[in-house]
Amino acid sequence: MRYEYRSLLVSVAALAATAGSGLAIADPDLEKHMADPSNWAAQAGDYANHRYSELNQINASNVGKLQVAWTLSTGVLRGHEGSPLVIGDTMYIHTPFPNNVYAVNLKDQTFKWKYEPKQDANVVPVMCCDTVNRGLAYGDGKIFLQQADTTLVALDAKTGKVVWSAKNGDPKIGETNTNAPHVFKDKVLTGISGGEFGVRGRVIAYNIKDGKRAWTAWSIGPDSDLLFDPQKTMTWTNGKMAPVGKDSSLKTWEGDQWKLGGGTTWGWYSYDPKLNLVYYGSGNPGTWNPAQRPGDNKWSMTIFARDLDTGVAKWVYQMTPHDEWDYDGVNEVPLVELTVKGRKVPALVHFDRNGFAYTLNRETGELLVAQKYDPKVNWATHIDMKSGRPVVDKRYSPGTTGPDVNVKDICPAALGTKDQQPSSYDRKSGLFMVPTNHVCMTYEPFQVEYTAGQPYVGATLTMFPAPGSHGGMGNFIAWDAANGKIVWSKPERFSVWSGALTTAGDVVFYGTLEGYIKAVSPKDGKELWKFKAPSGIIGNVFTYMYNGKQYVGVYSGIGGWAGIGMAAGLTEETAGLGAVGGYKDLAKYTTLGGSLFVFSLPDGAASSSSTTAMR
C-alpha cells in the first residue's frame, strides 16, 4: 500500500478546502507540504510515522559517492535528537536546551531569523536523561517549539515572532518537556516528561489558531481525567476486545499512589485521518520500585487510540502491566496496511522498550502479533496472545525478589531493546528498519519517599552488552511485522540511538553513537557508505530536495540517555540511571559537539536512470 497515505493526504486536503467552517478540518498548508517529498515537513515525514521518502536521486548505485554539501554549528552542546524541518527554501533547526530555533535560507545557508528563548536554568537538573529536544512541528504558517520549561510556543514561520504560547506543566515539581509537538488537523498535541519525578502523564491538545486548550487526556486516574467511556473504551481481554469498565485505572493502584503514577507521554504520535484517531504510548509508572505500587498500574505502559476532536479514548492496550524494569511504552506507532494470517488489516506496529514488537489492528485495538525483536530478551518468555500479558520469568523479576536485592542479567536494560529512536518503514518491501539496543542490566530496587521536584526513582542499575552475543551494544535490524520475525540483523559496537530513514532509492540511513552516518541496503543490510561526524549521532536522518538536487542530513551531537555520561560529565558507574558505566567506552570514539551535516552527490553523479517521484 505504498501510496495509501499519499492519496489519503491529498483527499483530506481537498476536504479541507471545501468543508464548512464549523468542521475541524485538516490544515491545507501542512498537507500540501507533506505531499511534496522535496520537503521534510514533519518529524516523521508524514502522519503515519513511516520516515520514508519518495526521493530516489540518491540510490543504491550512487550513494557511495555522497559527500559533505554543507555544515552548520548549532552553538549548543549535549544531545541533539530529532531532525530539522524543510519547507520550500527554508530549513528550521532546533537545539537542545536552551531550545534555540534557527530559520536557514537553503540558497546560501544564511539565517532568516533566530528565536533564542530565555529559560530558567533550574529546569536542567530536573531533566532526567539529558537536555534533549526531539524537534519542531509545522502547520498553519507556524513553527511549533515545545520548550524544556513546559512552554509551547507558536512562531510565525516567516519572521520567527511569537504568535502565541501556552504553559503545560510545572518544572518545580519535576515536569519538563523533551517531545516534539505534533500537528494533526486543527490541533497541536504535546505531552509531558518527568516520569522519574513522580509526575502524572497526560497529552494536551491546543487549537492551532490561538493556542487555547482543546482537551487534556491523563494517562492515570479517574475516568473523567482519562477521557474514558467505561462502556465504549475497549481493551484486549480474554482473546477479544471488551469495555475497560468503571475505574479501570484507579482499581489497579493502592490508595493515592496513582497521583504520582508516571505514565508520561514524551514520545512520537501518529494520526489516521480516515479514522480520526491519534496514537501514542505512555511511560513508566512511579516509582521504579515495584513493591511500592502493587497492581497493574494502568494506564502506564499503554498504547492509546483517541479521537482527535474530543480526546476520548476508543481503545487502549497495556504492554507491561506492573512494570518492574522501566520499560516505557512511548516509542513510535507507525501505521501500515498488513496481511496477517491471510487477513488484510489496518495495522499499527510498536517496537516497545520491553523487547517485544507488537502488531495491532489500529481501528479496533485487536492484538495480532507480539514477538521478541532481540533474541536475548529474557525478562518474559513470551506474550500470552489471549490475555495480551507478558509471561514473566521470575528469575528476572525485581518485584518477585523484593527491595534491596540485586537482580542480575536482565535483558533488555531499562533503556529497552529500543528507546525513542524511531524506526522507518520500507514501502517497497513492507519491512521495518529498526535501530536497537543490545544491552542488559542488574537492577536493585529500594524504598524511596516522594518530595516534589526531587528524583523519585527507587532503583540502582548497571548496564552492559548482552552476554553470549557479538560483544557490541546494538543491532540494526529489518523486521517483518506481519509475521513477527527478524529478516536480517547488522551488529553495531554501540546502541543505534539514531532514527532511521528509508528512501525510494533503495537506501536506508542511520547514525551511530560513535559518530558514523551509514547507508545500507534494505534487502540485506549490506553497508553502502559511511561518514564519520565529529560527535556521536543520536539525531534522526532526514532528506529533502532543493533546486533539483537531493540532500540527506543529520545532527551530530552525543548525549541522550546512552551518552549522558559525556553530556553531563558524570563518572559514577551507576549514574545516569546506569548508563554511565555501560557506555564508558564511548569516550574512546567521540566527544561533545553540536552541528548539522548535510550531504549530496557530486554534480553529475546522479544515476541517469533515477527519477524523483514527486507525486
What CATH number should be reported for the domain holding residue 421? 2.140.10.10
pLDDT of 176-212, one tens digit each? 999 999 999 999 999 999 999 999 999 999 999 999 9
Judge whether 337 lies within some domain.
yes
3-state DSSP helix/strand/coil percent for the chain, to nearest 5? 10, 35, 55
Sheet arrangement for strand 137-139: 137-139, 142-146, 151-156, 162-167
* Structural domain count, the chain: 1
Judge whether 5 lies within some domain.
no
Instruction: Show the low-confidence residues of the chain (pLDDT under 50).
Output: 1-23, 608-615
pLDDT for res 550: 98
Q: Is 326 a catalytic residue?
A: yes
Bridge partners for 337 per DSSP: 346
| Whole-number Cα distances in Å, 169 to 145, 165, 310, 405 | 15, 13, 21, 35
Judge whether 9 lies within some domain.
no
Judge whether 232 lies within some domain.
yes
pLDDT for res 609: 42
State how far the Cα of 281 lies from the Cα of 436, in Å rounded to an integer. Answer: 18
pLDDT of 277-288, one tens digit each? 999 999 999 999
Domain that holds residue 383: 25-614
State how far the Cα of 203 lies from the Cα of 223, in Å rounded to an integer. Answer: 15
State how far the Cα of 80 lies from the Cα of 359, in Å rounded to an integer. Answer: 30
CA angle 64, 486, 506 (to 5 degrees): 25
Strands 151-156 and 162-167, bridge-based pairing: antiparallel
pLDDT for res 538: 98
Task: Note whether 524 and 490 are within 8 A (CB).
Answer: no
Judge whether 356 lies within some domain.
yes
* Cell numbers for 596: 548539522
Please choose, from the candidates 8, 134, 89, 181, the residue with its C-alpha nearest in 3D space to the C-alpha of residue 422. Answer: 134
Judge whether 183 lies within some domain.
yes
State how far the Cα of 216 lies from the Cα of 202, in Å rounded to an integer. Answer: 7
- b/e burial code for range 598-608 (CB count within 10 A of at least 16 → b): bbbbeeeebee
pLDDT for res 146: 98
State how far the Cα of 175 lies from the Cα of 195, in Å rounded to an integer. Answer: 8
**Which of these is catalytic: 130, 186, 296, 326?**
326
pLDDT for res 607: 53
pLDDT for res 606: 76
Strand ranges in 191-239 using DSSP code E only, listed in sequence order:
202-207, 213-218, 234-237
Judge whether 4 lies within some domain.
no
First to last CA, the chain: 15
Judge whether 16 lies within some domain.
no
